[in-house]
Amino acid sequence: MEEVNDRDKAVFEAGIKLGALYHQFIGTPVSKDTADSLERTIEESIILQPYVRSISVSIDREMVAKKQNPKFGYCELEGRMLNVSLQVRYKSMIAYAELAYEEENDYPMMSVKKIEEM
């Protein structure tokens, strides 16, 4: 057993943020016209949470266009539509994480990309 260190904490917090974002906003009605403002609102809400250094959210417009119900003109935000890049800083450690659609597994994959000491 090893002590929990700052690197662990940075990485753990990055995981929390992606899990939270995903399950908070999935299901939100969205269209090509509202994707922009939904992206900003997701960013603004997650950056409020502890240790978030920066976040960039992008919603796949092509997927939205394809999924928009022809009769009703909108769809629901799905995990696979989301591209998120996140930096979390805990003390001197920075974890870079992302959420990106993995086509081969048809899965919205969350991963740590790198970890840096400032």
In the structure encoding, which two tokens stand for residue 82, read together? 């989301």
In the structure encoding, which two tokens stand for residue 80, read together? 């696979």
For residue 44, the one-letter residue type is E
In the structure encoding, which two tokens stand for residue 27, read together? 């299901």
For residue 57, the one-letter residue type is V
d(CA 89, CA 87): 7
- Is residue 30 involved in binding a second copy (CB under 8 A)? yes
Residues 45-74 that bind a second copy (CB under 8 A): 45-46, 48-50, 69, 71-74
Q: Which is nearer to a second copy, 62 or 71 (CB)?
A: 71
Q: How many residues bind a second copy (CB under 8 A)?
A: 56
Q: Which residues bind a second copy (CB under 8 A)?
A: 1-2, 4, 7-9, 11-24, 26-31, 34, 37-38, 40-41, 44-46, 48-50, 69, 71-74, 76, 79, 95, 97, 105-107, 110-116
